[in-house]
Amino acid sequence: MEEIGKSYKRIDALEKVLGQTKFLDDLPDENFLHAAPVYSGIPFGQILSIDFSKAKSYPDFVDFISAKDISGENQVGVIIEDQPLFADKIVRFVGDVIGLIVAKSPQNARDIAKLVEIKIEELSPYFTIDESRNATEIFLHDSNLACEHQVIRGDIETGFTDADLIIEETFKTSVAEHYYLEPQGCIAFPKTDKMKLLGSLQCPFYIQKAVSRVLGIPLENVEVEQSPTGGAFGGKEDVPSELCARVAVAAQKLGKPVKMVYSRKEDVQLTSKRHPFQMRYKVGVSKSGKLLAAEILLEENAGAYATLSSVVSYRAAMQAMGPYKIPNVKVRSKSYYTNLPPNGAFRGFGSPQATFGHERIMDILAKKLGIDPVEFRMKNMLEVGDETMTGQKLTSSVGAKETLQNASERINNNIIQNNNNSHYLEGIGIASCHYGNCLGAAGWHLDGAGVNIKIRKNGKISVAFGLVEMGQGAETVVAQMTAQALGVTTEIIEILPTSTIHVPDSGPSVASRNVVMTGNAIRNAAEELLPILKKVSAEILNCDQENIEIKNCFAKNLKSERKITFSEIAGYLHLNGMKTQSNGWWHVPELDYDSETGTGDAYFTYSYATQIVKVRVDRLTGIVKVEKIWAAHDIGKAINPAGLQAQVEGGTAQGIGWALTENFKYEHGKAVTQNLSTYLIPTAQNTAKVETILVEDSEPLGPWGAKGIGEPAIIPTAAAIANAVSNATGIEFNEIPMTPENVLEKIES
């Protein structure tokens, strides 16, 4: 039986329904010390003094940890070195961490932290992209521009001259909070010159580097293990490096384990969010509806430190014009520093924002041309042999048109007729996208990943991999792929917790990388183990290796039909001291990319998607209800179809929240939407019926043909909803969130 393509039940589900999974804060407290952050309440200013004498007199006080306690470098910037671990001169956002209070209980640490007195001379802060860009003196860093990327291909002047219609439009998307249910947290365990960290996290190898640098100890002296992680969505990509490094400084100084778990308020105020974008699209088309030229300016609010902005900005730039053929493009993508919490990774990583831009303009163009929006997209959509907007020639696995075809077939019997007097207006909206798998040319040097596969004496197989389970189902698909690769059943696979000690640096668990990277690494490890398994089976069964078939946990002599079990083979290997384990590795092949012009192979392959939504707009209240989503996704091959559906259902739900209700707000840099009654994430009542449509256009470089799904699931949703609301009301909605107030205001004006 095939292990791939089966909706195998999640291997972590049993523990989870029993409430037995031990998340970080569920572990027994073995006399840990507890830390709480001391942070700036002011968005921008110079630190004049830090006084913790009041804190010190509190009975449970253990220590105040700050920049002076760092034995390595006071630097935690991920790509650009602009972020001190502990602010010691300047604070740049409400939540910039100045120190930690360490106490004997978490509640006391938090109470004592409030007693630390920090004097700050305030500077006038920048909160918006416009304020930041227009600043003439006093910048957040050397300048207010954190980073920029561009794509320059063809000749836009000629393209616009040839165009019969040119449309220019501005779009805006808002900040979004991950609101993973388990807050950020970690425990640091010091051992003489070593440090072990355990935490709720996505990227153990980032943390290893950050901690080694801050403590001034070699990389190999830092061990990072992931505890079961209660959601992340990108929010635990870079932020845990800060938490872990700070707590590690405390643990190193005090020589005792130190634990820190953020309260929900701290988590919301101190940690990263989705970048708000403001985008200017100018696109020219021929009468017949052929895209000819695009000039695009993407501006991103980076927040106080660059963290991952540079790669978010890169991805948005590379995908700015979507899955369409367009010969002449000029894209500039710029991230600006502001005095808000740093914006970082959030599922889609700049793609949902760019998709909002290109899919809104595609709809506006179609309308102006008088061409059906499906037909207009179909006319321009990429297929094998075409070049992407960066000039990358696509040679395989381009299921874009099939996603559009399959999704649009579903709406044919959903003809909408709005009565001008009715209370509700209905509308349909389409959005298509492409998503570059893995890290792309900008992160190519990090784009390798490993596994370690061990055949145990008891006939089970254990697998350690370098990427993580954070809820998406990674462990289950890794088990399935291992079973498939070795001819055994998924039941006998055991997955070890992800730790830096089992596998080499596998880069970050982001960019929908797990299936592709780990799957290929598994195949690589199996290439080494399979010949051994065959050889041993042939020895035991006394036949030629060519006659051996290994399947379903049995090795069979195809001639005599004699069989032995996988347990027998495992026993034999161990008894004879033979090879029982293998390290697999896979690295993304080299990409031919020119960073000057931003042209060439931006990513090694793309997932494609089209989502079509049906909405109902309440004309009197402005409430938008998403009734149905047809989500067609080209994922190459579904390793676990039910798990994949679950990704699509969860991703679209997050997309609905971002499009309609999640209205994150700051006042003078302080988050005012700190709880679930002000920051409205979707409940069971306001998610939609979702029909997942799988398109399996096999990718030759993907394991068993597979590509990533984690992020594509959310990318087109908000754009499709905005298109549907525009369709329903006849008014162009170019900004999200489309809260009832915003919708009503537009309808009434």
Tell me the torsion sign for CA atoms 337, 338, 344, 350. negative
- Give the SS3 label for residue 699: coil
- 420 in contact with another protein (CB under 8 A): no
Q: Closest separation between CB of residue 230 and ligand FES, Å?
A: 6
Q: CB of 83 within 8 A of CB of 213?
A: no
Given candidates 199, 228, 234, 636, which one binds another protein under the rule CB under 8 A?
228
d(CA 690, CA 611): 10
- 627 in contact with another protein (CB under 8 A): no
Residue nearest to ligand FES (CB): 181
* CA torsion, ordered 247, 248, 253, 254, to nearest 10 deg: 60
Q: Closest separation between CB of residue 17 and ligand FES, Å?
A: 11
Given candidates 63, 182, 242, 295, which one binds another protein under the rule CB under 8 A?
182
Burial tier of 119 (Cβ tally within 10 Å: 0-12, 13-18, 19+): exposed
Given candidates 2, 9, 527, 592, which one binds another protein under the rule CB under 8 A?
9
d(CA 204, CA 188): 13
Secondary structure E strands in 145-304? 145-153, 165-172, 185-191, 194-199, 222-226, 258-261, 277-285, 291-303
Q: Closest separation between CB of residue 643 and another protein, Å?
A: 6
Given candidates 683, 700, 730, 741, which one binds another protein under the rule CB under 8 A?
683
Given candidates 5, 231, 641, 740, which one binds ligand FES under the rule CB under 6 A?
231
Find, among 549, 453, 465, the residue nearest to 514 by Cα: 465
Nearer to another protein, 555 or 656 (CB): 656
- 178 in contact with another protein (CB under 8 A): yes
Element (H, E) at 522: helix 514-541
d(CA 537, CA 532): 8
- Give the SS3 label for residue 435: strand
Q: Closest separation between CB of residue 231 and ligand FES, Å?
A: 5
Q: Closest separation between CB of residue 264 and another protein, Å?
A: 6
Stretch that binds another protein, among 13-21, 94-102, 329-337, 524-532 (CB under 8 A): 13-21
Nearer to another protein, 699 or 711 (CB): 711
Q: Site mask, another protein, residues 641-660, x = CB under 8 A?
A: -xx-xx--xxxxxx------
Q: Closest separation between CB of residue 323 and ligand FES, Å?
A: 30
DSSP state of 661: I
Backbone φ and ψ for 698, nearest 5 degrees, come out as -55, 135
d(CA 387, CA 372): 24
Q: Closest separation between CB of residue 647 and ligand FES, Å?
A: 12
Tokens of 573: 């290997």
54 touches, from another protein, ligand FES, none (C-beta below 5 to 8 Å by class) = none
Nearer to ligand FES, 77 or 231 (CB): 231
d(CA 420, CA 410): 26
Nearer to ligand FES, 180 or 337 (CB): 180
Q: Closest separation between CB of residue 676 and ligand FES, Å?
A: 8
- 682 in contact with ligand FES (CB under 6 A): no
Given candidates 28, 59, 370, 577, which one binds another protein under the rule CB under 8 A?
28
Q: Closest separation between CB of residue 620 and ligand FES, Å?
A: 32
Residues 6+ apart with CB under 8 A from 682: 653, 654, 656, 657, 661
Stretch that binds another protein, among 65-73, 508-516, 538-546, 677-685 (CB under 8 A): 677-685
Nearer to another protein, 12 or 60 (CB): 12
Residues 6+ apart with CB under 8 A from 239: 184, 271, 272, 344
Given candidates 222, 470, 550, 718, which one binds another protein under the rule CB under 8 A?
470
Taking every pair of Cα atoms in the chain, the longest distance, rounded to a whole number of angstroms, is 86
415 touches, from ligand FES, another protein, none (C-beta below 5 to 8 Å by class) = none
Backbone φ and ψ for 477, nearest 5 degrees, come out as -70, -30
Tell me the torsion sign for CA atoms 249, 252, 258, 259. positive
- 235 in contact with ligand FES (CB under 6 A): no
- 675 in contact with another protein (CB under 8 A): yes
Given candidates 127, 205, 233, 281, which one binds another protein under the rule CB under 8 A?
233
Tokens of 438: 């893995």
Stretch that binds another protein, among 9-17, 43-51, 60-68, 619-627 (CB under 8 A): 9-17
Nearer to another protein, 7 or 150 (CB): 7
Residues 6+ apart with CB under 8 A from 90: 44, 45, 46, 47
* Angle in degrees, CA 306, 197, 584, rounded to 5: 85
Q: CB of 63 within 8 A of CB of 250?
A: yes
Pairing of strands 222-226, 493-495: unpaired
CB atoms closer than 10 angstroms to residue 574: 15
d(CA 679, CA 659): 13
CA atoms within a 13 Å half-sphere pointing along the CA-CB vector of 678: 10
Given candidates 99, 284, 471, 708, which one binds ligand FES under the rule CB under 6 A?
471
Given candidates 251, 690, 693, 701, which one binds another protein under the rule CB under 8 A?
690
Give CA 258 to chain center in angstroms.
Answer: 28
- 348 in contact with another protein (CB under 8 A): no
Nearer to ligand FES, 440 or 471 (CB): 471
Which residues face 461 on adjacent strands?
Answer: 455, 493
- 642 in contact with ligand FES (CB under 6 A): no
472 touches, from another protein, ligand FES, none (C-beta below 5 to 8 Å by class) = another protein
Site for another protein in 436-455 (CB under 8 A): none
- 473 in contact with another protein (CB under 8 A): yes
- 587 in contact with another protein (CB under 8 A): no
Nearer to another protein, 545 or 683 (CB): 683
- 490 in contact with another protein (CB under 8 A): no
**First-residue to last-residue Cα distance in the chain:** 62
Tokens of 295: 């000039």
Q: Closest separation between CB of residue 351 and another protein, Å?
A: 19
264 touches, from another protein, ligand FES, none (C-beta below 5 to 8 Å by class) = another protein
Q: Site mask, ligand FES, residues 519-558, x = CB under 6 A?
A: ----------------------------------------
Q: Which amino acid is at 331?
A: V
- 181 in contact with ligand FES (CB under 6 A): yes
Stretch that binds another protein, among 24-32, 273-281, 569-577, 701-709 (CB under 8 A): 24-32
Tokens of 137: 């003196």
- Give the SS3 label for residue 521: helix
Nearer to another protein, 472 or 498 (CB): 472
**Which parts of this chain interact with another protein (CB under 8 A)?**
7, 9-10, 12-23, 25-26, 28, 178-182, 228-231, 233, 263-264, 470-473, 642-643, 645-646, 649-654, 675-677, 681-685, 687, 689-690
Residues of this chain that interact with ligand FES (CB under 6 A) are 181, 231, 471
